[in-house]
Amino acid sequence: MKFYGLFGEKLTHSLSPQLHKEIYKRAGINAAYKTFPFPPDQLHQAVNSLKILSISGTNVTIPYKKAVMPFLDKIDPVAQKLGVVNTIANKDGKLTGYNTDYDGFDLLFKRRSWSVQDKDVTVLGTGGSSQMVVAYLKDHGARSITLVSRSVKEAVEDERLRYLTYEDSAEISGHFLINTTPVGMYPNADSCPVDPAVISRFDALIDLIYNPMETVFLKEARERGKPGVNGLEMLIGQAVRAAEIWEDQTFPEELTDSLIKDYEQWKGA
């Protein structure tokens, strides 16, 4: 049996163990998955334990996605570009860091045949998830990317980028509006990151939050007849991709589709 897990500081409410258990069950893999919570001053020891205990891989969540990188033997090019690791594979005692959130985000678009090519996209938030989203938008040909945060930054690295504060964003419009902030997440589920009037000026909405399944942000989109998607598919997509890396195989699309369908029902129960 192979052993996998999740590195983080506070993991009491993590959905990863349940999700990975389902992946292994449906893929016919003999593996176990558990959480490994620990304080920041034990990060180096935790990474070393992967080799010592022959743990085949782990996911990594806050606050260690950046901090873990110096302790790894190799970084995958996508994770290197993003500066964030969320998956570690242990192959013969060598630890390689990956970022599968990028693949999970891509799944949202593939399942709807959506494209950001030559589109105007606004991203709410400038944290780690936002950096991944911006990298994806650049790689897939977005025409313009507006980043909205509490304070303005200068967009010197790419002419497609511009920064606005929430106070200056009242008149923004475009094709996609993407929320990467925790605003609207359980237990503060009654909040919306922007005025509902802003939502009316976009063609489609994406919220990386998956709990609740329908945030106020997506509810406002639905009531205005706008297509919207939450972060559940991204969560499942990144988990499946992590398992593929660990097992060195590609799972059929039907596995991911069935997980999404069933997990929507589980969450709605």
Query: What is the pairing mode between strands 57-60 and 2-8?
Result: parallel
- Distance (Å, whole) CA 47 – CA 54: 11
Which pair of structure tokens corresponds to residue 192?
């919306």
Q: Alpha helices, DSSP H only, in the chain?
A: 16-27, 43-52, 77-82, 101-110, 128-139, 196-199, 216-223, 232-247, 253-268
- Distance (Å, whole) CA 23 – CA 6: 15
- Distance (Å, whole) CA 230 – CA 250: 25
- Distance (Å, whole) CA 186 – CA 74: 36
Cis before 70? omega within 30? no
Is residue 87 within 8 Å of 99, Cβ to Cβ?
yes
- Distance (Å, whole) CA 242 – CA 251: 11
* 57-94 core/surface letters (b: 16 or more CB in 10 A; e: else): bbbbbeebbeebbebbeebbebbebbebbbbbbbeeee
267 tagged catalytic: no
Q: Which of 65, 66, 138, 261 is catalytic?
A: 65
Catalytic residues: 65
